[in-house]
Amino acid sequence: MAKITRSISAKKSSVPSVPKKVAKKAAKAVPKRVAKQSAKPKPWTPAEIHEAFSRFRKANPEPKGELEHLNPYTLLVAVVLSAQATDAGVNKATRALFAVADTPERMLELGEEKVREYIKTIGLYRNKAKNVIALSEKLIAEFGGEVPRTRAEIETLPGAGRKTANVVLNMAYGEHTMAVDTHVFRVGNRTGLAPGNNVLEVELGLEKVIPSEFMLHAHHWLILHGRYTCLARKPRCEVCLINDLCRWPEKTV
């Protein structure tokens, strides 16, 4: 019996042992690769995208932006004021402001100090009042008092960035632009419709996949969907119009 025991022990000891650190790394490597591959959602098909926006259109044929305005100029001002603020908060302040200053000329007559008084309930109001006066001056000096019709020109105005330009071009001039705010960014990524690491990637991704027939209203549908249905913390998947198409692995229906 002793001889047999020794031979078995000898066989066991002849097998080289794997260092604990190496074994741990090997065990972790495969699950990580599998998880990474399974996390990537399957792209939407053109038919699915068409179906999704057909549903949005049927539910809300003429969606409107929630920022109140009277003309392209007041729309531009409202969008500039809406940075890091709610549409409802901006509307509350601009109703009285636009009643007395609905053109660049009238805004300059009002002056920065009085503009501040009108918008003091909005976050960053001091800097925003300065931008409103500065952009009004530039519109008069360089664009004949009119809001320009190109993204590049609008982006030269104080306080106006790419998103501002896209909103104005779409709502004031009917251009097929995609304004990506936090809601659109979330919807584009969560649903898998147009994943992106930043707003520009999502914007370009959405423009690439959304059919032209839907582009006039597409950004409004997506904003409203993100604001009232595809919420950041508790998405309302049970009432979502596109829950059967959505690629989000955590959806509740």
Catalytic residue among 163, 208, 234, 244: 163
Is 181 catalytic? The answer is yes
The residue to which tokens 């001002």 are assigned: 77
Q: How far apart are CA 102 and CA 225, in angstroms?
A: 31
Structure tokens belonging to residue 115 = 């503009």
Active site residue 25: no
Tokens standing for residue 58:
């049927």
192-200 own/partner pairs: CB under 8 Å, 24+ apart: 192/41, 192/42, 192/43, 192/44, 192/246, 192/247, 192/248, 193/44, 193/49, 193/52, 193/247, 195/41, 199/163, 200/162
- Annotated active-site residue in 21, 120, 181, 234: 181
Q: Which residues are identified as catalytic?
A: 163, 181
